[in-house]
């Protein structure tokens, strides 16, 4: 199907016994896998963590065609031993299209029993309630879980940013029943017969998870944005949680996993992770420096200056015209000006107070 890509690679099947297993690896600490509500009994703990090397897995990239724009937001469908796993739902407004694409791959939507979201920004998990209504279990960081169950605060804060554009951008977000939410920290667990490592990776959002399937890493927003056919890496730094230092630490952590490929929600496959991480580190530092150097501007003037600078930076990589507009849809630069501006305001006020 259009935009679907197919890969096979080695990922070891998880051990037979447990449905969901908490990693015993000290390296990863242990928030573990915590079923929300009273379904804990449905999960048994194993004595050893499943490994992540071994069976063939197929990964399909599903273009949500968000607002009619190609390559702005992706979901990924992984064919695992015991059925399909969806990574990222996109916003509620793309649900119908996404279901069509799942069907085109030969699956009924109610066969998607497992949906992993990297964080709870609406372009990543806004459709979770619809998948839950189809019977899916939704996997999310513990900080994000309560906001999927009761999205009212999330929607109220998004409404303050997007005003009357909420419906147009995101559609109608539905809550997820608590018993269908499983909260993951840094852990390795078995999902649909596959050993999957959830990796806490803050910086873009404090509750961000990346997911490692074998040597393939699904990065949400922590690996930035890079659209197909382009080399430019843009930084998604919306308010309120951009944090340069923790983001750089997250990149070190992700790189230490030595993935062979990255899958970016904005957008698609990156096959030279080291080069990509190096570029993103430089971009993060440059974006932060630019905002610091322009910290005396009003918020409005900073947004304008940042947008102009970002456009020039993209132009240095040959990203112009329509291609730049696609970047702006996937990751509006004015949002990063706000988010990085907020980061510096907090940092400077706390250092002057101390």
- Residues of this chain that interact with Zn ion (CB under 5 A) are 121, 221
How many other β-carbons are positioned within 10 Å of the β-carbon of residue 115?
26
Nearer to Zn ion, 90 or 214 (CB): 90
Classified as helix, coil or strand, 346 is helix
Q: Which is nearer to Zn ion, 62 or 223 (CB)?
A: 223
Measured from the CB of residue 13, what is the shortest distance to Zn ion in angstroms? 32
Q: Are 270 and 223 in contact (CB under 8 A)?
A: yes
CB of 154 to Zn ion, least distance (A): 12
Beta-bridge mates of residue 263: 218, 269
Burial class (CB in 10 A: 0-12, 13-18, 19+), 219: buried
**What is the closest distance, in whole angstroms, from the C-beta atom of residue 106 to Zn ion in the complex?**
30
- The number of beta carbons lying within 10 Å of the beta carbon of residue 148 is 27
State which residue, 123 or 190, has the beta carbon closest to Zn ion.
123
Nearer to Zn ion, 107 or 242 (CB): 242
Q: Which of 42, 41, 46, 39 is nearest to 22 (CA)?
A: 46
For the CB of residue 123, give the shortest distance to Zn ion in the complex, in Å.
7
Cβ-based nearer residue to Zn ion, 79 or 221: 221
Q: How far apart are CA 169 and CA 165, in angstroms?
A: 6
Nearer to Zn ion, 80 or 251 (CB): 251
- Number of alpha carbons in the 13 Å side-chain half-sphere of residue 14: 26
Cβ nearer to Zn ion, comparing 194 with 225 = 225
Distance (Å) of CA 148 to CA 128, 238, 339: 7, 20, 23
Cα of first residue to Cα of last residue in the chain, in angstroms, is 57
Minimum distance from residue 10 beta carbon to Zn ion (Å): 30
Closest approach of Zn ion to the CB of residue 6, in Å: 27
CB nearer to Zn ion: give 113 or 147. Answer: 147
- How many Cβ atoms are within 10 Å of 349's Cβ, its own excluded? 10
Tell the smallest beta-carbon distance from residue 236 to Zn ion (Å). 6
Burial (0-12, 13-18, 19+ Cβ within 10 Å), 169: middle
Least Å distance between CB 210 and Zn ion? 12
Choice between 140 and 194, CB closer to Zn ion: 140
Q: Which is nearer to Zn ion, 37 or 332 (CB)?
A: 332
The H or E element that residue 194 is part of is strand 194-200
Give per-residue burial for 2-40: e unless 16+ CB within 10 Å, then b: ebeeeeebebebbeeebbbbbbeeeebeebbbbbbeeee
Measured from the CB of residue 239, what is the shortest distance to Zn ion in angstroms? 11
CB of 221 to Zn ion, least distance (A): 4
Q: What are phi and psi of 319, to 5 degrees?
A: -95, 110
Residue nearest to Zn ion (CB): 121
């Amino acid at each position: 199907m259009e935009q679907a890509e197919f890969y096979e690679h080695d990922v070891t099947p998880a051990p037979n016994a447990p449905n969901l297993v908490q990693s015993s690896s000290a390296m990863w600490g242990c928030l573990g896998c915590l079923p929300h509500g009273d379904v804990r009994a449905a999960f048994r703990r194993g004595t050893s963590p499943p490994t992540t090397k071994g069976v063939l897995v197929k990964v399909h990239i599903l273009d949500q065609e968000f607002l009619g724009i190609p390559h702005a937001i992706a979901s990924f469908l992984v064919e695992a031993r015991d059925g399909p796993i969806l990574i990222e739902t996109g916003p509620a407004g793309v649900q119908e299209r996404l279901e069509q694409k799942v069907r085109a791959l030969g699956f009924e939507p109610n066969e998607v029993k497992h949906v992993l979201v990297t964080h709870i920004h609406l372009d990543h998990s806004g459709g979770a309630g619809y998948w839950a209504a189809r019977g899916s279990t939704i996997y999310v960081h513990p900080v994000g879980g309560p906001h999927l169950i009761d999205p009212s605060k999330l929607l109220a804060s998004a409404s303050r940013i997007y005003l009357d554009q909420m419906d147009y951008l995101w559609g109608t977000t539905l809550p997820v029943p608590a018993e269908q939410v499983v909260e993951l920290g840094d852990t390795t667990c078995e999902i649909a017969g596959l050993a999957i490592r959830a990796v806490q990776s803050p910086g873009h959002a404090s509750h961000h998870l990346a997911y490692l399937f074998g040597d393939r890493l699904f990065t949400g927003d922590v690996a930035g944005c890079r659209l197909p056919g382009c080399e430019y890496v843009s930084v998604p730094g919306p308010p309120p949680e951009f944090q340069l230092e923790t983001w750089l630490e997250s990149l070190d952590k992700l790189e230490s996993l030595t993935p062979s490929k990255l899958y970016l929600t904005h957008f698609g496959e990156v096959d030279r992770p080291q080069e990509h991480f190096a570029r993103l580190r430089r971009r993060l530092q440059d974006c932060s420096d630019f905002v610091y150097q322009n910290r005396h501007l009003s918020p409005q003037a900073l947004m304008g200056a940042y947008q102009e600078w970002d456009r020039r930076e993209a132009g240095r990589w040959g990203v112009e015209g329509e291609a730049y507009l696609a970047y702006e849809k996937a990751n509006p630069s004015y949002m990063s000006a706000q988010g990085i501006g907020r980061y510096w305001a907090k940092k400077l006020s706390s250092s002057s107070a101390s």
